[in-house]
Chains A and B, each alone.
Chain A
Amino acid sequence: MTAHTPSAAQTVLVEDIARVVEDVPGVAFLRPGLAARLRSALSRPDPGAGRTPTAGVRLTPGADDTAGWHVDVHVVVVRRARAVDVARAVRSAVETHLALRFPARPGARVRVTITGQV
C-alpha cells in the first residue's frame, strides 16, 4: 500500500464528498462516524468540531489530470431503506458532484460499501 500525503485541495474535496454522501437519503453516517456523532451529541470540546468526519471517504486521483477520480465510500445506512438503493444513490451523488467540479475530467469510479445498518 502506498502512503501518500493528500494535498490541501484534496482534503477539502474529501470533506465535500463526505457532506454530499451524508446528505443522501437513507445514509445514517459515514464510517466510522460513530465517535464523532457521540462527541457532537455530548458537546465535548473537539478540535474537529463542526467538520464532517471523512474517514469513510477515500479519494485517489487518477494517474494525471486527464484521468478520473477513484472514490471509495464506506457508509452506515438506516434500516428502513433498501441497502442497494442507498448505495446507488450515494454513487450517483458522488459522480454528479465530481462531474460538476471537474467537467474536463473523465467520470469518477465510485465504489460504495455498506458497513452497517442502524
Chain B
Amino acid sequence: MTTHTDPPEGARADGDDESLPCGRPLSRVWDDWERQTDDPHTATCPHCRTAVDDLALLESAVRGLREETPDPSAHDAEPLTRRVMDLVRLELRPGRPLPLGEPAEDLWIMETVAARVLRAAAETVEGVRAGSCRIVDADGHEGGAVEVRLDIHAPADAALRPLAERVRQRVREAADRELGLVTASVDIRVTDLVDVRAEGREGDTA
C-alpha cells in the first residue's frame, strides 16, 4: 500500500519533471537541444535522442500548421501555437504532484494544472484578478489534504472580508467539484487594490 507521503518517482521537488531511463531529466535534454548545447552524452544516448526527435517533430508540426493555415494572417495561427507550446511547457515543468481524492489512493495532479483551475475559480468573483497560487501538502493533516495560498487583486471599493470569503468559497468549490482536491485551508492574500471605475474610464480621455 502506498500513501500520499510518497510522491511519484521522477516528480520530486528537486527535479520536478520526468527523468529518462538514462537518468537525465527530460526538461534538461530539451533545454540543451533548444540552446544547441554540444553534449556527447545526448549525441549518443538513445533515450535522449528519441526525446529530442519528439521535440523536433513537434516543432516542425507546429510550424507546418502555421504554414498550412489557409488564412495566413498570423492572427489565427499565433494563439494555436501559444496554446500548444503552453501545453508542452506544462508537460515539461508541471510543478509538484498533489494528492487527489482519499488518502492512499495514489492518485495525483500536478500543481500547475490544479492552480490554473483554482485561479480561474477565484476570477469568477466580479472584479477579482488572481495572482500567484501555491498549493502545498497540508502539514500534519491526515491523508491527502492541501493548503491553498492565493494572491488576488481586489476592487478598491470592495469590502475585503466578504470578498475574500466569496473567493475562498469559489476556490473550495472548484477544488472539490472540478478536481477532487481536498482543501485543508484556503488563504487569500489581497496584494493590490484596483480602482475599477478608473480602469473603466480609461480610453475615454486622451
Known: A83-B109, A109-B106, A113-B110. A3 touches B54 (CB 8 A): no
Q: Does A44 contact B (CB under 8 A)?
A: yes
Chain B residues whose CB sits within 8 angstroms of the CB of A74 once the complex forms: 18
Which of A11-19, A29-37, A97-105 is near enough to bind chain B?
A29-37
Asked whether A88 lies within 8 Å of B64 as measured between CB atoms, the reply is: no
Residues of A within 8 A of B166 (CB): none
User: A82 near B: Cβ within 8 Å?
Assistant: yes
The answer to whether A67 has its CB under 8 Å from any CB of chain B is no
Q: Return chain B residues, CB-CB under 8 Å to A88.
A: 101, 105, 107
Chain B residues, CB < 8 A from A38: 57-58, 61-62, 65, 84
- Rounded to whole Å, the gap between the CB of A47 and the closest CB of chain B is 10
Q: Is B110 touching A116 in the complex (CB atoms < 8 A)?
A: yes
Check: B113 CB closer than 8 A to any chain A CB: yes
Q: Is residue A96 within 8 Å, beta carbon to beta carbon, of the partner chain?
A: no
Contacts of B87 in A (CB 8 A): 34, 76, 116, 118
Tell me, yes or no, whether A112 is within 8 Å of chain B by CB. yes
Residues of chain A within 8 A of B36, CB atoms compared: none
B110 and A111 contact, CB distance less than 8 A: no
Please give the number of chain B residues whose Cβ is less than 8 angstroms from any Cβ of chain A in the complex. 43
Q: Does B44 sit within 8 A of A, measured CB to CB?
A: no
Does A114 have its Cβ within 8 Å of any Cβ on chain B?
A: yes
- Verify A84–B9 contact, CB threshold 8 A: no
Q: Does the CB pair B113–A114 fall under 8 Å?
A: yes
Question: For residue A31, which residues in chain B have a CB less than 8 angstroms away from its CB?
Answer: 91
Tell me the nearest residue of chain A to B55, going by C-beta. Answer: A35
Bound-state CA distance A83–B115 (Å) is 13
Partner of A72, one of B8, B101, B116: B8
Residues of chain A at interface, number, CB under 8 A: 32
A111 touching B8 by the CB < 8 A rule? yes
Contact at A114–B84, with CB atoms within 8 Å? no
Q: B184 at the A/B interface (Cβ < 8 Å)? A: no
| Given known A-B contacts A34-B84, A34-B91, A84 and B65 have beta carbons under 8 A apart | no
Quick check: is B11 within 8 A (CB to CB) of the other chain?
yes
Answer whether residue B117 sits at the interface, using C-beta atoms and an 8 A cutoff. Answer: yes
Q: Would B110 and A114 count as touching, CB distance under 8 A? A: yes
Is the C-beta of A59 less than 8 angstroms from some C-beta in chain B?
Answer: no
B101: min CB distance to chain A, Å: 4
Alpha-carbon separation in the docked complex, A82 to B176 (Å): 9
B11 CB to nearest chain A CB (Å): 7
- Could you pull out 15 A-B pairs where Cβ atoms are within 8 angstroms? A35-B55, A35-B57, A38-B65, A42-B65, A44-B57, A44-B61, A82-B177, A83-B100, A83-B180, A84-B107, A87-B100, A88-B101, A88-B107, A91-B106, A114-B109
A residues whose Cβ falls under 8 Å from a Cβ of B: 1, 3, 31-32, 34-35, 38-39, 41-42, 44, 46, 72, 74, 76, 82-85, 87-88, 91, 109-118
